């Protein structure tokens, strides 16, 4: 009986641990050709991407609105208010600069990016 109770407790704790794992940023490829590449990013509430950089010009279309924070490796922070359905244009990042995307809000942020090659 004790073993059965321990097994049940272990199973419940495992399920709770998995349920509490923070959601991760997801990237879904849209297309890739010799002129441009595109992906859809889904940034769940209270999540952040890994550090990365953008070496090319890119357009971003907000599928959902929200405030997207970008934080550079040295801590510089920029907040971009995204309006649902609006397109934004970004220049390549300066040499050596990397950033991560951070969603500190309670809403999922979804964007489609088209990056020129």
- Domain borders along the chain are 23-116
Matching CATH number, 23-116, of 3.40.50.12280, 3.10.180.10, 2.60.120.10, 3.30.465.10:
2.60.120.10
Q: Are the C-beta atoms of 90 and 101 separated by less than 8 Å?
A: no
Query: Dihedrals φ, ψ of 31, to 5°?
Result: -160, 165
Cβ burial of 67 (10 Å; 0-12, 13-18, 19+) is middle
Give me the pLDDT at residue 22, please.
Answer: 73
At residue 66, the 3 state secondary structure works out as: strand
pLDDT tens track for 2-53: 455 444 444 444 444 455 677 999 999 999 999 999 999 999 999 999 999 9
Q: How confident is the model at residue 81 (pLDDT cuts 50, 70, 90)?
A: very high
Query: Dihedrals φ, ψ of 93, to 5°?
Result: -75, 150
CB count in 10 Å sphere of residue 20: 7
């Amino acid at each position: 009986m004790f073993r059965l109770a321990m097994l049940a407790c272990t199973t419940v704790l495992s399920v709770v641990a998995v349920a509490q794992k923070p959601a991760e940023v997801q990237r879904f490829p849209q297309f890739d050709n010799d002129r441009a590449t595109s992906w859809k990013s889904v940034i769940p509430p209270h999540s952040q991407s890994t550090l990365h950089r953008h070496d090319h010009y890119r357009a971003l279309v907000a599928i959902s609105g929200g405030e997207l924070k970008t934080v550079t490796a040295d801590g510089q922070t920029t907040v971009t208010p995204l309006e649902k359905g609006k397109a934004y244009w970004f220049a390549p990042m300066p040499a050596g600069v990397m950033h991560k995307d951070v969603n500190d809000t309670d809403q999922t942020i979804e964007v489609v990016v088209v990056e020129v090659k």
